[in-house]
Amino acid sequence: METVSENTAFGGVQGVYRHASSSTNCDMTFGLFLPEEVADGPVPLLWYLSGLTCTHENAMTKAGAQAWCAEQGIAIVFPDTSPRGDGVADDDAYDLGQGAGFYVNATQGPWASHFQMWDYITEELPVLLGQNFAIDLDRQSITGHSMGGHGALTMAMNLPGRFRSVSAFAPICNPSASDWGRKQLTAYLGEDETTWARHDATLMMQDSGFDGPILVDTGTTDQFLDLLKPEALAQATAARRQQAVLRMQPGYDHSYFFVSTFMEDHVSFHAEALYRG
């Protein structure tokens, strides 16, 4: 693992690291903020999954998460959104290919050889973090924005017991019924829609729900609201009587101004779960 950079921030260290990934068959880069409490032993971990077109860097520099994580003594990791490199398949559209991995394991060509983002996030990267940093993998929570909110919700519901809490900012809630989903799931997983269900938060909520608290914020003036379909997740959550707080925030759009505004709420929400028991 190569250290790309390390900067002191809020009493801790914001690092950027690169490593050869066996899941994606290419080099992957991630950001990791460690609070000063790591000097005393392993700290809880919050995952932040970013949205379409983003790298590890967008949330790391725009979301304002480090200050609140430092206050709570929590590490936060910012993985990349897809494999990258000259040999990695791509598409001219912004919402497919590099920058748009959708947090699935692709089974279709030309994507399958590299686009194994589910395994990278849920299997490979946690092991790497546990081996190299003072992180307590028994205390993990997950959040994300847009495509990353989709990934956070589906991973939390597919992996019971892994995450103590899940939250999302403007998540893609029902991708199998949205143009932000049907295109990508068809490309990566094929036309058999039964293989899509575990990657649809609304369908997963109907099927199994989540064994912990959920917080979701979406802006009422989000320019992509019809693609996100928050009402579908809300209906499934109510029908299941799932423990959740689903909020529509008046006047907010899809930008990092929205994310940074409510980041303190989300970090505090996760801190309560991570330090409980």
Respond yes or no: is residue 21 known to be catalytic. no
* Per-residue confidence (pLDDT) for residue 277, from 0 to 100: 63
pLDDT over threshold 90, residue 276: no
- High-pLDDT (> 90) share of the chain, %: 99
Q: Which of 114, 254, 266, 270 is catalytic?
A: 254
The domain that holds 24 is classified in CATH as 3.40.50.1820
Average pLDDT score over residue span 24-35: 98
**AA letter at 179:** D
Tokens 């029908």 label which residue? 239
Strand order across the 166-169 sheet: 2-9, 12-21, 26-34, 75-79, 43-49, 135-144, 166-169, 214-219, 245-249
Q: Which of 146, 165, 167, 178 is catalytic?
A: 146
The HSE-up count of residue 178 (CA atoms within 13 Å, CB side) is 26
Give the global pTM.
0.98
Respond yes or no: is residue 50 known to be catalytic. no
Respond yes or no: is residue 255 known to be catalytic. no
Q: Say if residues 179 and 185 touch (Cβ distance below 8 Å).
A: no
Question: Is residue 166 helix, strand or coil?
Answer: strand
The alpha-helical segments, DSSP class H, found in the chain are: 57-62, 65-72, 117-119, 125-132, 147-158, 179-189, 201-207, 225-228, 230-240, 256-274
Q: Say if residues 272 and 238 touch (Cβ distance below 8 Å).
A: no
Please tell me the total count of domains within the chain. 1
The two tokens of residue 168 are: 């999302």
Q: How would you label 59-98 residue by residue, b for 16+ Cβ within 10 Å and e otherwise?
A: bbebbbbbebbbebbbbbbbbbbbbbeeebbbbeeebbbb
Long-range contacts of 189-194 (CB under 8 A, 24+ apart): 189/104, 189/106, 189/107, 189/108, 190/107, 190/108
- High-pLDDT (> 70) share of the chain, %: 100
Positive or negative, the CA dihedral 44, 258, 17, 95 is positive
Query: Is residue 272 classed exposed, middle or buried when 0-12, 13-18 and 19+ CB atoms within 10 A define those classes?
Result: middle
Q: Which of 80, 200, 217, 222 is catalytic?
A: 222
pLDDT bucket at 258, cuts 50 / 70 / 90: very high
pLDDT in tens, 40-52: 999 999 999 999 9
CA 160 to chain centre: 16
Domain range enclosing 82: 2-275
